[in-house]
Amino acid sequence: MLLMPEKTTDDKQGERIAKVMARAGLASRRQAEAWITAGRVAVNGAVISSPALNVTTSDRIVVDGQPLRARERTRLFRYHKPRGLVTTNADPEGRPTIFGALPKDLPRLISVGRLDINTEGLLLLTNDGGLARVLELPATGWLRRYRVRALGRVMQPALDKLRAGITVEGVRYGPVEATLDREQGANVWLTVGIREGKNREVRKVLETLDLKVNRLIRVAFGPFELGELDEGAVEEIKSEGLRAELGEAIVSKAGADFDAPLIVHDAPPRRPRPVDEPFVSVPEDEDGKSTQGHKPKRPPRRDRRGGPRPKYPRPRE
């Protein structure tokens, strides 16, 4: 295997290769660095072993034998994550993932941060790894708001003390904005705002007040809100207003590109219909997308008396 000697940032103008790969939407920067270390990336015909390399547009980058695709327009999506899905591409325990549940005609997307398996609500997805990295940094300071149902009782003065921050099991958490909304049976409903988004932060902080979180819904991430987005639905944030929502500081730091071409990703082709399989026509949906499918016609189910099988079981005589 031919290896390319490592170069420092002074050897060549350009950008770090992991950053270029991330901005192309191929992987997050951390994933790209891992792929490079594993020998999956070549530059100008030579396999590289370290991400400490700058590249320019004149360099030819190949990943797993395939040329790095041209950079496409930066895109950002709102996704209403249901409970029961993990925020990862592949789970070693075999649990279902958000990426397995997304429509197949979307570009390759990266999550902006994570929501754990039992947390639902707003999750931002983007095809630009550079943007994802900037948005999930605590230094960006965006407020993450949650609706929280928790078992227990608490008064507002105790919640107000969380604004000073708190240390839990040696981990320091920044200011937490918490408001008591109402009581419901043995539970309370709260609105909680945090800016760091550390692992299980809301749950751990509220445990110090003897509150056991049993439902956690993220309703906002910075200027983007969950709104009326249905559970499991994904919706693109239009580019026209996206730059303004992000702010020029974030756009510049992330290197987001709203002028690059928009690449349409088609859904995988349908399986061919067997010759002897009847054709069933299905009308188009409200968006004008074809929902035609090929389903074999099945004979109606019959009961033992020879008549059509009732929709609901007959009561016993």
Would residue 307 count as lying in a domain?
A: no
- At 281-310, the pLDDT tens digits run 444 444 444 444 444 445 555 444 444 544
Smallest Cα–Cα separation from 207: which of 258, 260, 150?
150
Would residue 309 count as lying in a domain?
A: no
Q: What percentage of the chain exceeds 70 in pLDDT?
A: 79
- At 183-209, the pLDDT tens digits run 999 999 999 999 988 889 999 999 999
pLDDT at 12: 53
**For residue 59, what is the domain's CATH number?**
3.10.290.10
- At 249-277, the pLDDT tens digits run 999 888 888 887 776 655 444 444 444 44
| More confident of the two residues 269 and 137 | 137
Number of domains in the chain: 2
- At 154-164, the pLDDT tens digits run 999 999 999 99
**For residue 234, what is the domain's CATH number?**
3.30.2350.10
> Is residue 127 domain-shared with residue 243, that is, in the same domain?
yes
Mean pLDDT of 206-223: 97
Would residue 55 count as lying in a domain?
A: yes
Task: Report the 10 Å Cβ neighbour count for 159.
Answer: 21
- Given the residues 116, 160, 181, 303, the one annotated as active site: 116
> Is residue 175 domain-shared with residue 42, that is, in the same domain?
no
pLDDT at 219: 98
Q: Quick check: 153 pLDDT over 60?
A: yes
pLDDT at 300: 52
Q: Model confidence at 139, in pLDDT bands (50, 70, 90)? A: confident
> Is residue 96 domain-shared with residue 31, that is, in the same domain?
no
Active-site annotation holds for 116: yes
> Is residue 239 domain-shared with residue 97, that is, in the same domain?
yes
Write out the residue range of the structural domain in which residue 173 sits: 76-254
Average predicted confidence (pLDDT) for the chain: 82
Mean pLDDT of 76-83: 97
> Is residue 43 domain-shared with residue 157, that is, in the same domain?
no
pLDDT at 137: 87
Mean pLDDT of 211-225: 97
What's the per-residue H, E or C state across the chain? CCECCCCCCCCCCCEEHHHHHHHCCCCCHHHHHHHHHCCCEEECCEECCCCCCEECCCCCEEECCEECCCCCCCCEEEEEECCCCECCCCCCCCCCEHHHHCCCCCCCCEECCCCCCCEEEEEEEECCHHHHHHHHCHHHCCCEEEEEEEECCCCHHHHHHHHHCEEECCEEECCCEEEEEEEECCEEEEEEEECCCCCCHHHHHHHCCCCEEEEEEEEEECCEECCCCCCCCEEEECHHHHHHHHCHHHHHHHCCCCCCCCCCCCCCCCCCCCCCCCCECCCCCCCCCCCCECCCCCCCCECCCCCECCCCCCCCC
Q: Quick check: 211 pLDDT over 90?
A: yes
